[in-house]
Amino acid sequence: MSKLDETIAGLKFDEKGLIPAFIVDAESKPLIKEGLASAVASGNDTAVSVPMAVAAGLGEMGLSRMLITPKLGPCLRLCKVFTDMPLATGAPADLGVRKVCEGCGRCVEQCPGEAIPVDWPDPTAPAVDGKKCRDFWRRNGNSCANCLAVCPFMKS
């Protein structure tokens, strides 16, 4: 197999816009069997998902550091498969997200854990300050998703 030089970000949605990890695992098994996939990852454990999805043209990064897509807004989960398989590449999308986010900022204001920095995100940066977010979840006894609830790109 050639050196891994292509990263493919793929999205699969169920009726609620979620991507069960077992779907990514099941769909990657034929690639692994054929020697076309060298690793399967979920979340940001192997590489940061949002910048890859942006580079693939799936959406834009919002101030919240979440991927904003035309169809689902920020309400999705990303998974990825790393492969040497030749595939067509996308181009970054321009949905006008930055302009809307710069005039909004509700995700930052409504984050009780103060986990979303005020400055515009570095496109290679992790989603949020994970420690602050987890610490809030522990204190609260639950997650919050305020950033999703107040996002003007949220789809009903």
As a whole number of angstroms, the distance between CA 54 and CA 80 comes to 13
Residue ranges covered by each domain of the chain = 6-149
Residue 114 tokens read as: 């103060």
Q: Enter the pTM of the model.
A: 0.71
Q: In this predicted structure, what is the pLDDT of residue 122?
A: 72
pLDDT, position 20: 42
pLDDT tens, residue by residue, 128-149: 888 898 899 899 888 888 999 9
Q: Which tokens in the block code for residue 134?
A: 């987890």
| Dihedral-angle region of residue 90 (phi above 0 means left; psi in -120 to 50 means alpha; beta otherwise) | beta
pLDDT in tens, 61-111: 999 988 999 888 998 878 777 776 777 777 888 999 999 999 999 999 999
Buried b (16+ CB within 10 A) or exposed e, 140-154: eeeebebbbebbebe
What pLDDT score does 74 carry? 92
